[in-house]
Amino acid sequence: MIFEKEHELVRQLAKEFAENEIKPTAEEVDETGDFPMEIYQKMAKAGFLGIKIPKAYGGSGGDHRSYAIVMEELAKASGVSTIWISSPNSLQSTPILRDGTEEQKEQYLRPMVTGEKLFAFGLTEPGAGSDAGATQTTAVLEGDYYILNGRKCWITNGPFCDFAIVTAVTEKGKGTRGISTFIVEAKWEGFSHGAHEDKMGIRGTRTSDLIFENVKVPKENLLGKLGGGFKVMMNTLEAGRIGVAAQAVGVAQSALDEAIKYTKERVQFGKTLSKFQNTQFTIADMATKVEAARLLVHQAAQLKDNKQSPALLSSMAKYYAAEVANEVAYKALQLHGGYGFVKDYRIERIYRDARILSIYEGTSQVQQIVIAGNILK
């Protein structure tokens, strides 16, 4: 893909970081489930934690194309590494930048960019997954505080977050218009987390429930308008899908690279697998789909950078790139045969990491609903 000079410089920086810092530890991170905090701090120093955050709040002030480039390059080395970048750049900073007060931006964005503090994004609940409007967590106003009660699940950074952006029902009977969003600090009494989930893939992040038992949230920690929380979160997810789609492209490219390498080396029936026409057709199909997904991601990012709504294209990019990542990882493992089923080969981890891409931040089926809704309205 042809990049402008500034984007090519970003790509080169990210590629070198991935090769030198991420790739050497990828298997160990997968095995232990722990991502090295020293690498996270190096991400902060490289400016990756605040790519899209304005310089006024300590960020790099970059655009969405730069963000997509970094996400893809790091995902090629390790899919899970990009979650540590997408969290501050997307789910956590977007709602504060878009709907937060100036005081909230100053207080919470700077420690996010430096890596000093970790945030979580609390939307999903045991009974409210794809149906996010079915939120049961409540926030009742009592004097100068909202009393927060409820539970969120599948929360990245849940076990050790310093802050969480959380949705709660502030007015019953109003459906999604009765949901508000709050910034909740983990140090407040009544805030706790559940057990860490032992996940199939992206094992280098910690995931748990967040539990709120009569947590006193100051009124000034309301994020956006009262009753506007559902819209805050949907707008956040809309922009966030570009990052997940870029992550998916990186995972898909990594699987493709492993397939190309292996089929050029593996000899069967007197010649390498790459000499068989069936293999060639499979590789050609994989490569074409990866490139198509990449172009779709950058088209969505370009729309966002041009201040145009990326709603349709971001869902298309997320849907298509996630499905392509799963398909390419599957075919790459199949080309490895039995060797692809053991941990000695990178494709085994890549295959497991790819599976989450069509699930989190809106399943592929949810993306189809969004796409159809935009086209048929």
Instruction: Give CA–CA dist 29/26, Å, rounded.
Output: 5
Task: Assess whether 361 carries a catalytic annotation.
Answer: yes
Q: Which of 190, 184, 146 is nearest to 166 (CA)?
A: 184
Instruction: Give CA–CA dist 329/309, Å, rounded.
Output: 31
Measured between its terminal Cα atoms, the distance across the chain in Å is: 33
Burial of 372: CB neighbours in 10 Å, binned 0-12, 13-18, 19+ = exposed
Q: How far is CA 289 from CA 102, 195, 257, in A?
A: 43, 38, 14
Q: Which of 161, 197, 167 is nearest to 180 (CA)?
A: 167
DSSP state of 358: G
Instruction: Give CA–CA dist 196/339, Å, rounded.
Output: 31
Catalytic residue (one of 21, 238, 323, 361): 361
Instruction: Give CA–CA dist 223/194, Å, rounded.
Output: 25
| Chain position carrying tokens 């007015």 | 171
Instruction: Give CA–CA dist 208/239, Å, rounded.
Output: 24
Amino acid at 288: T
CB 101 within 8 A of CB 115: no
Contacts of 171 (CB under 8 A, 6+ apart): 177, 178, 226, 227
Question: Which sequence positions are flagged as catalytic?
Answer: 361
